[in-house]
Amino acid sequence: MHPRHFARKAPDRPAIVMAASGETVSYSALENVANRGAQLFRSLGIATGDTIALWLKNCRDYFEIYWAAQRAGLYVCPIATHLTVEEAAYILNDSGACLLITHADVAAAPDLVSERQRLIPDVRHIFGLEAGMDGFPSWRAALTGFPSKPIADETAGYHLVYSSGTTGRPKGIRLPLSGEAADAPHMLGDRVAGRYGVGEDSVILSPAPLYHTAPLVYGMVAHRLGATLIVMDHFDAEDMLRLIERHRVTFIQMVPTMFVRLLALPGTTRAQYDLSSLQKIVHAAAPCPVEIKRRMIDWLGPIIYEYYGGSEGNGSTFITPQEWLEHPGSVGRADWGTLHICDEEGNEVPPGVDGLIYFEGGWDFQYLNDPEKTRDARHPRHPAWSTLGDIGHVDKDGYLYLTDRKGFMIISGGVNIYPQEVENLLITHPRVADAAVIGVPSAEFGEAVKAVVQPLDPADATDEFAEELLRFCRARLSHVKCPRSIDFDPALPRLDTGKLYKRSIRDRYWPVAPT
């Protein structure tokens, strides 16, 4: 399906509702403005296969522009709003974007566009979402001069996303365009409809930034299936509960850090909202501690599903809540591609043994402008197998358990230590809001395990609490895995996907390499 279908069938049905303002876009209005946007793209000479970029906070325009680009056969490159001028310029240049739409409320945007000739010389067109963006034309105003009929050469476009760059520079993931009609069915729509029962009666809540792949994709799928999409400006735990009750939300895509924030609300607060409309929750993007997920299921019932995969589309796993209760901690069995767990030499290992996770049979992705990284993601002897760089193992029934990212592994005294296990333990302490575990320089061991902890109460950032947390870990983990020291941070750099930006934490402790 495609939103055009519902513009004809149910023109007045809300396609987008902005949660904070109540601003609503019907399916007929979405069709109208998307056609105008496609006409505008063509008037600028932007052709099938070209790339446009969005540097915007959550707004109704995100999907209006997405669907305009999708029917014009373009790649849509979303850019995270927290990035610096240099980081955004890198993505714009690397992606080959010929057009940028942004807004002055993106902190670094004014500085970037004021130096466009130096920083992004190949971006031919820049629009502010509204008037007042350093003299650049307003996207909304420009649309009014174009007809609302489809362009003559419609064809399906797609998104071009960049990895979060938690361990290095972001990598562009560009899949080949299908060449199909703009309103041809898409396999992601079919999967979500079949797996979660999402359809025309569904109300989907989107609590995360749309510049991340999963919120963007689930929003796109909502419109392909005729659902109503409620978009939060930003995540707030109690506000989410309020919105579920107000809009009778049926489906949410979340990340585990949101679970932690919800569970941190007082029980009396959680109990005052009617959440009975919820039918399905799905989560991914970051590992979820077993205790956190168990508490969520105890609270909301067995409605929490999980998948593991990446924007690369090279494969995925899936697990139902019923399966998870029988295999706690698992992210499921392969449902897209075939799983292979391999050692450092590329040999497959037996069940229960950790190794690098490969998929065979998914999309044959390429990292944009980086053939070396593309090669590194391939198996040394089976080029059709690819990896996202995660370590894990399967049990005898084929259920996958994630251990950690390969790039996060700590080697201390010759022993391989995976920080995720320690982080999952620390986050269960009732006075801990968040935790990161990294390796720091050690003359004796090469690397020593350090925990950086965000306490719930900033006043707990004391030597006494650090000692309490060390004892907490030693009572539950092998001493070789336990942190040797603990530092405190009032707010860890965790991305809205739930992923820790470990590179910035690690850089505090490691000397800068000479240039």
What are the pLDDT digits (tens) for 207-251?
A: 999 999 999 999 999 999 999 999 999 999 999 999 999 999 999
Topology of 27-165+180-184 in CATH?
Rossmann fold (3.40.50)
pLDDT at 414: 66
Phi and psi, residue 469, nearest 5°? -70, -35
For 337-396, CATH number? 2.30.38.10
The structural domains of the chain, with segments of one domain joined by +, span: 27-165+180-184, 186-333, 337-396, 407-506
pLDDT at 168: 61
Q: 186-333 falls under which CATH superfamily?
A: ANL, N-terminal domain (3.40.50.12780)
In three state form, how does the secondary structure of 110-172 look? Answer: HHHHHCHHHHCCCCCEEEECCCCECCECEHHHHHCCCCCCCCCCCECCEECEECCCCCCCCCE
CA distance 394 to 330: 9
HSE, CB side, 13 Å, CA atoms: give it for residue 375: 4
In whole angstroms, what is the distance from residue 497 CA to residue 499 CA? Answer: 6
The pLDDT-based confidence of 164 (bands split at 50, 70, 90) is low
- Ranking 179-183, 356-360, 364-368 by mean pLDDT, the lowest is 364-368
The 10s digit of each residue's pLDDT in 169-195 is 788 998 899 999 999 999 889 999 999
In this structure, which long-range contacts are made by residues 86-92, counting pairs with CB atoms below 8 Å and at least 24 apart in sequence?
A: 86/119, 87/170, 88/55, 88/112, 89/119, 89/120, 90/169, 90/170, 91/53, 91/162, 91/170, 91/172, 92/53, 92/120, 92/123
**Mean per-residue pLDDT, 377-384:** 94
Amino acid 167: pLDDT: 53
pLDDT at residue number 445: 74
Query: Buried (b) or exposed (e) across 386-413, using 16+ Cβ within 10 A?
Result: bbbbbbbbbeeeebbbbbbbbebbbebe
Mean pLDDT for the chain overall: 92
* 27-165+180-184 against 337-396: fold identical: no
pTM, rounded to two decimals: 0.84
CA–CA separation, 125 vs 44, rounded Å?
Answer: 8
CATH number, domain 407-506: 3.30.300.30
- Cα-based distances in Å from 146 to 36, 41, 101, 176, 209: 5, 10, 18, 29, 29
